[in-house]
Amino acid sequence: MNQPHHDERARIREAMDRLLTGQATASNGSLTVVALAAEADVPRMALLKRHADLKNEFYERVRNETHQVPETEKRLRETVTKLKKTIANQRAEIEELRQQVTRLTLASAVLAQEIDEQPRGARVPDNVVPFPRLTT
């Protein structure tokens, strides 16, 4: 490993220690990758790409040393909860629509039967539009 990358790794580890002890100097002190990158004065993408192991180590230390769930994991869990609620609502709506289709189909069949049973030329109520008779 060349010297610049070694220096980055050392700065990242020092930044981890500062963040986890609540002594941030260059960031807002939150336990996120963004704050870690700012605290270590390295580009965030370098932390995500070249030093992914250190990012994972940071999140593991956040869990173990502070007994907190990382902020990104909290947001993902909230999103999953919202999506599960949305799915449940959509399933209930689909079931309600299926039942409505069944009821409308039955109502249509009843109306069609009533119209068929009426004598030719009988008056049809104003709110009923008769379907043309099918010939087979």
Mean pLDDT, residues 28-32 taken together: 85
**Long-range contacts of 15-18, Cβ-Cβ distance < 8 Å, separation of 24 or more:** 15/39, 15/40, 16/54, 16/57, 16/58, 16/61
pLDDT, residue 30, reads 84
Higher pLDDT, 135 or 73: 73
The model's pLDDT over 39-91, given as tens digits with 9 standing for 90+, comes to 999 998 988 888 999 999 998 888 888 877 777 788 899 999 999 999 999 99
Give the number of other Cβ atoms within 10 Å of residue 37's Cβ: 22
pLDDT-above-70 percentage for the chain: 88
Q: How confident is the model at residue 14 (pLDDT cuts 50, 70, 90)?
A: very high
Which residue matches tokens 């941030």?
24
Higher pLDDT, 40 or 128: 40
Which residue matches tokens 């704050």?
35
pTM: 0.52
Q: How confident is the model at residue 124 (pLDDT cuts 50, 70, 90)?
A: low
Q: Where in the chain are the domains?
A: 3-68, 72-110
